[in-house]
Amino acid sequence: MAVPSGKHLGIAISAALLLQLSATEALSASLIVSSSFPVDTGFYVFGYDPVNPFYGLYPGLAFEFRTESLSAPLESIRVSLNQFAGPNEMQISLHEAEPYVDAFGVSTVRPGPIMESFHLQDVLGAATQIVTVESVLQPLLRQNASYFVSVVAIGNGERQLMRWSVGVDCEAGFLGEECNLDEIVEGGFVRAFLSSSGSWGTYQYSTYPRTAFEVIAAPEPSTGLLVIAALLGFAVHRRGRA
């Protein structure tokens, strides 16, 4: 088997470096895992309301999203919220999905263990705004898996209501593409309500939209670095034998 000369090996390593730089540049940008932006005019109300239990029926909401063909660590989560009544203190969380059988005997999923959570206080006003939380733990979002984003009001039972905007329901799914309004997903995702007892109840829906949120991932560098390391190791080995 012919062994490449030092000149040819240098050319090969340079080419591999160029390929790696190109791949890294392509993957360095953040990718949209799931998006239901832009924001629609509707909203869901949640929190606590001892005066009108209808509004304060659920202290928290969660919505499912699914990854597609690439695993990547979480970078950030964006949600569209505004203060409806009272103070605002909340927790935004990323959950694993766990198996669940709903009240109708249907096997589905619901929010499971929290992978990362973010505590926020007095960040909302009356106007709708995009709240962004940056990941510290960077939990891995695995390909072809389901997860939940939740927003839970934190309080002592006094009146505290927030509104989570409805979003245009579409999936970008690790492609880094903008939300395509011509490809709206027609249901199948799970909506979850946190009960006053602290348990999640869920059901699949086809007519109720998801809330407006976006999950951003930061893809890891490609395996090109491994190729470069192998070539450099081979070069050192050849030089040692010369």
pLDDT at 31 over 60: yes
pLDDT at 179 over 70: no
Is 133 within a domain?
yes
The count of C-alpha atoms lying within 13 angstroms of the C-alpha of 135, restricted to the half-sphere facing its C-beta, is 21
* Span of 9-13, 70-74, 123-127, 214-218 with lowest mean pLDDT: 9-13
pLDDT per position as a tens digit, 51-68? 887 777 899 999 998 887
Longest dimension (CA), the chain: 86
Residue with tokens 């919220």: 81
Average pLDDT over residues 66-89: 90
Q: Is 237 left (phi over 0), alpha (psi -120 to 50) or beta?
A: alpha
* Spatial contact of 94 and 149, defined as CB atoms under 8 Å apart: yes
Residue 130: the pLDDT is: 94
pTM: 0.75
Residue 155: the pLDDT is: 83
Is 18 within a domain?
no
pLDDT per position as a tens digit, 94-140? 999 999 998 888 888 999 999 999 999 999 999 999 999 999 999 99
Q: What domain count does the chain have?
A: 1
Is 7 within a domain?
no
pLDDT per position as a tens digit, 189-234? 888 999 888 899 986 665 667 789 999 998 866 544 444 444 445 4
Domain that holds residue 35: 27-237
* Spatial contact of 46 and 161, defined as CB atoms under 8 Å apart: yes
Is 41 within a domain?
yes
Is 97 within a domain?
yes
SS3 182: coil
Is 9 within a domain?
no
Is 12 within a domain?
no
Q: Cα torsion for 225, 229, 231, 233, to the nearest 10°?
A: 180
Is 6 within a domain?
no
Task: Specify the CATH number for the domain of residue 31.
Answer: 2.60.120
